[in-house]
Amino acid sequence: MIPIPQEVPPGRWAVAVSGGADSVALLRLIHPHPDLSLHIVHLDHQTREQASTGDADFVANLANKLSLPVTIARRNEIEPQAQNLPKNISARFRALRIELFRRTIVRENLLGVILAHQADDQAETIFLRLLRGSGPAGLSAMSTRRRLENLTILRPLLHIRREDLRNFLKTQGQNWREDASNQSDHYARNRARKFLESRPDLHEPLLAIGRACAEYSKWIRSSAPVLNERFPAIALAESPRMLARESARRWLVSQGVPPPDLTPAILDRLREIATDAATPAKQQFPGGMQVHRRSGWISREP
């Protein structure tokens, strides 16, 4: 028996439903909650010809069956109005879904969106980030609650396995849609999924790494010195590298540097300005922002 997720506070929420087993199981698990008012959201990516349209029709029929309001949009309706979209197709589709979530939440006065990521997704994410050399922040993977700018995202299924969700749907007599592209070895996520399915002994160790890194990252965030707009170089020079990076990250963001541009190399460069008097006293950072060191103090160049 799957425990009904308790991580969803009472109120009006959007639920992202793709038509796949995980999202359908999420909807069926939380729909009976009397304190929840749900609004289904679905984006037709228009990538798999009739199968993509079939997913949208399935979600519309499910919403009608459960007497729930639904917003279904096509990619070509959202894309022309979205700004700064990534070139990577997967990242681009994620950005478009987030844009649709934002619009729906504002229009319907909802608290946020509930996503169906589950424990196997979590293990796959940590595994992929390990392969890419991610640090503790990246290996923390997904959290049950996240604030993305002004959007609240809940993931209440992160402790539930994929197979358990499918078994739950079978007991309910509830069907779902299968995405054939999930079997393609063209995508790294699919290759990771197949490998981990052949090595079930790796599931718990990967999740343990994620939990440990989440705790470590939480400690870093709480321990890193807070830098004023003009701060003494010694504040970074005397901090361990990981704490200095977090302090540098927060300070650079506060000065207008785009967060996606803050690589470890960029963060370490600010620390080098503070620790090495031989480095140039004036340097430019992403976003056109210039940092200046003068008499042992660091500030943004006017």
This prediction's pTM = 0.86
* Type of residue at 253: V
- Which candidate, 59, 51, 22, 60, places its Cα nearest to that of 193? 22
Residues in the chain with pLDDT values less than 50: none
pLDDT score, position 2: 74
- Which strand (E) or helix (H) includes residue 22? helix 21-30
DSSP, residue by residue, 30-68: HTT-TTEEEEEEEEE---STHHHHHHHHHHHHHHHHTT-
Distances (CA, A) of 115 to 17, 26, 234: 8, 8, 43
CATH of 11-118+142-182, one of 3.40.109.10, 3.40.50.620, 3.30.70.1900, 1.10.3720.10: 3.40.50.620
Same fold? 11-118+142-182, 224-300 = no
The predicted-structure confidence for 214-243, as pLDDT tens digits, reads as follows: 999 999 999 999 999 999 999 999 999 999
What is the rounded CA–CA span in Å between residue 86 and residue 152? 21
CATH number of 224-300: 3.30.465
- The Cα–Cα gap between 237 and 261 comes to 22
Indicate the domain borders of the chain: 11-118+142-182, 224-300
